[in-house]
Amino acid sequence: MRIFERDGKTNFADVNDVLVGYDAWDNCCEVHGYALHSSFPPSEPRPYMWQREDEGAPATECSAPSNLEEMVFDVDFFEELPGYDEGGRVFFRLVSPRLMRPRRDETMRRLQRGAAVNNEAAEVYLELFNHHNGYYSHGFTVEVGGEVIRESRL
């Protein structure tokens, strides 16, 4: 998955032509953005870096997995959790096809040991969030092959 930010939009795209688009245009009195997590539901403190945040919000200094670009969206996984104050949180699962082979395979065990050393992950959860006071929302869409399969607002 690759991340593109431009003109108040953030797009997350994988090699399978899956696109998650997020309206990241800033308004006042809100904290919004996205984060990467190593598990779902996420635990605190956040294990991966906040990739995008509103100005003034604290950032956690951690690194994303080194194999993030090879990861692809699991289009069957989508979860929504309540936000803080108003707004909301939605989660998407990304997997590494190379690291998600059957676990009984000895090659898989070697890959997992090597992945831990190389800061790679077999799965990561992308969170889009918006914590606001009730006035501002941010839309998102999910497209597969150019066809919109989900859209909503946080």
Are the C-beta atoms of 20 and 36 separated by less than 8 Å? no
115 within 8 A of 67, measured Cβ to Cβ: yes
Going from N- to C-terminal start, the domains of the chain cover: 2-153
Is 4 in contact with 19 (CB distance < 8 Å)?
no
Contact indicator for 154, 26 with CB cutoff of 8 Å: no
- Residue 106 is given by DSSP the state H
Q: Which residues of the chain have pLDDT under 70?
A: 27-29, 43-63, 84-85, 99-118, 132-135
pLDDT tens by residue, 89-132: 899 999 988 766 555 556 666 666 666 656 777 788 999 988 76
Length of the chain: 154
Question: Following DSSP, what letter does each residue of 107-141 receive, concatenated?
Answer: HHHHHHHHHHHTT--SEEEEEEEEEESSS---EEE
The reported pLDDT for the residue numbered 102 is 52
pTM: predicted TM-score of the whole model, two decimal places: 0.78
Q: Are 97 and 72 in contact (CB under 8 A)?
A: yes
List C-alpha distances in Å: 20 to 27, 28, 111, 150.
21, 24, 28, 9
